[in-house]
Structure 1
């Protein structure tokens, strides 16, 4: 490399650093688009590419002018030099697609052509921006190693050997370091964008999960509140349908239960809808049942015609935490509703035991019904909801048929 080539390298570094640094930041674009297809050039890409091309051509023209005035350079070599320089400048347009291949090709070209110095600067910078350090180290090391040999074969007429070598080596190292800096900065920006996208995605997933949990909680609450009332209504309406010859007093009693159940169901529905419209928490809007309300639930079931035995071995139900007591109440309520639907006329036993530290156990059993049971529609969502309730409370729930044909629901809830 001669003085002109050294000047080309230095001018390339200075010009790209101070004249259009913002354009060079955009020069780091992907090697290929998705699916193996290259993205189309944007207007900014065209500006950057055209500026790099003009830089390479300008430095090449300056080197060619000095080369033509050098009496020590044969005319044939000058022609070959300028032809390789023109091809190298044209190759600048392909540097994004093949940065490594062009950098390798510029190694022998740089030994033969002074006018290719500007293109070599641009391509070496592009290699440092687009390729990992191992490729830059190999190509840059070879380029640095060939500088002393180049000036020994083609001495610079205006600079001493040591000065020309030192200047060119420094310019080459500057280009490489600058390209690596741009690459590191761009990788940092991509990493930050990726983290921001992941954080946004995770936040969206958490929001969707919260909405799903809220919908499930609302669905459980509506089922627990309304199923008990509507089951009373369905069972007594079915009894009137299958026993049209029942005594007038029993018919009037069933009609009263139907009316009262429908009224209570509508009232509960209005309260739930009011809570949802107000956007209040699930516990707001109306008093929530606790374990102390279990006696009233059993009394209501008895008034509806059920046979229910309550065995509560909890010394003071008020000591039970409200969330645990509410879950226990809902479990007993759903179990009584299922017994009323699927085993009418049987005696249901509700047992509640527990103490602080040992947990609270709710056990509801009913024997097999006698005779045919009227078909009452059911989807099994109640037991699924109870299992979810018990799990959310930190407990567990078991349910299933008994050996004698009855059915049992048993739940353990933490208390302590």
Structure 2
């Protein structure tokens, strides 16, 4: 019997096997694997014994046989036990040792059945102790107290009826009682270890759930912010379209050149409004948006952002290589601006004193690339409080814009944020 021999309890579904057990299933008890990964068990059937289970069960069987053999040898020299009773004792002990293989399936039934057998058979004592240990591991204390109490209560009576030939009565009783208590205590300790492991597993699952919920909340907030920004832009487009359409309605005699110019503005505004409306619908599928907010900066405000960062004491180099900055769609420009802003903010918090490089490149048809890179900081950086959800919001922005964003440490020890946004 090993210290991590565990049993059954009400399983808690986990959905997948923990990484700790991947590739090591043979090393752990099948009951523990069933507790941590009940979905892996075959429906309606008990989990198969692992290699570790077979080793432990064989060890328990051999231990029961060894104790039974020692007891059988003591019976041969005990004048208080007739030869016929010794034969019956050994037969009952052999059957009890064979029953040890059933200890995982029926721990309570085996312990109850071996209680009277242990009273009648000296050679079944080892199997009875193993059954008590298994009961303490697999069942709650209430069952262990009843069965263990009966076993301990019959020990004085057993040695009164069949005294030991070598030891005094009191020494025999005390030795067996202490051995029984130690066996039950060991089993309860193993059960407590198993419950602690399951408790830690549940706490880890709750922590993972909380992290996932925080990430989902950050994504929802980012979508709501994007929806507010789109509301301002869409309202501007529709207002412009309405003004020019109204001018055509009330000035039917306008010159052809003016009419053509107004029609071009209406066509362009309608096209832009349609694109913005598609983005709004994509945002509203996951969260509600309100009609409040303020206009957000675009790519044209990137120079101002860098200048403000420099005034705040940061070392920032800007490499702006966009062929037609004015032709960048407003939604793409806003996303690029927010990516650069978040990258500068993170560099200011986690790598103070370093020179941050901001690079913006792109052209119509190839897309817009934004890269923010900072080298590793010199010396120890004091911890800065933060939610850690800013990059999650940027990834959501880039995804909604049809692009992608990657971030992480560089081989040199710095940190880089790189995003690609479509520019068609």
Query: TM-score, structure 1 length as denominator?
Result: 0.56
Q: Which has the larger radius of gyration?
A: 1
In 1, Cα distance between equivalents of 2:68 and 2:186? 22
Alignment partner, residue 203 of structure 1: 211
Structure 1: stretches of 5+ with no match in the other structure: 1-15, 286-416
Equivalent residue runs for 1:156-167 within 5 Å = 156-167=164-175
Which of 248, 252, 258 does residue 246 from structure 1 map onto? 252
In 2, Cα distance between equivalents of 1:283 and 1:171? 67
Tell me by how many angstroms 1:48 deviates.
1.3
In 2, Cα distance between equivalents of 1:21 and 1:252? 88
Which of 270, 294, 298 does residue 329 from structure 2 map onto? 270
Paired residues in the alignment total 265
In 2, Cα distance between equivalents of 1:91 and 1:175? 18
Q: Cα gap change, 1:166/1:275 in structure 2, threshold over 3 Å: closer, same or farther? A: same
Q: Say what the alpha-carbon RMSD is for the aligned residues.
A: 3.5
In 2, Cα distance between equivalents of 1:257 and 1:38? 73
Tell me by how many angstroms 1:228 deviates.
2.4
Alignment partner, residue 174 of structure 1: 182
Q: Cα gap change, 1:89/1:248 in structure 2, threshold over 3 Å: closer, same or farther? A: same
Tell me by how many angstroms 1:199 deviates.
0.8
In 2, Cα distance between equivalents of 1:77 and 1:50? 29
In 2, Cα distance between equivalents of 1:245 and 1:70? 127
Alignment partner of 1:134 is 2:133: no
Tell me by how many angstroms 1:263 deviates.
10
In 1, Cα distance between equivalents of 2:119 and 2:342? 83
Alignment partner, residue 114 of structure 2: 106
Q: Cα gap change, 1:151/1:197 in structure 2, threshold over 3 Å: closer, same or farther? A: same
In 1, Cα distance between equivalents of 2:172 and 2:137? 26
- Say if 1:151 and 1:161, in contact at 8 Å, map to a contact too: yes
SS at match of 2:163: coil
Alignment partner, residue 198 of structure 2: 190
Alignment partner, residue 397 of structure 2: none
Structure 2: stretches of 5+ with no match in the other structure: 8-27, 276-325, 345-424
Q: Cα gap change, 1:194/1:268 in structure 2, threshold over 3 Å: closer, same or farther? A: farther
In 2, Cα distance between equivalents of 1:259 and 1:36? 67
SS at match of 1:248: coil
Alignment partner, residue 223 of structure 2: 215
- Say if 2:107 and 2:135, in contact at 8 Å, map to a contact too: yes
In 2, Cα distance between equivalents of 1:227 and 1:284? 30
Alignment partner, residue 31 of structure 2: 29
Tell me by how many angstroms 1:97 deviates.
1.6
Alignment partner, residue 233 of structure 2: 225
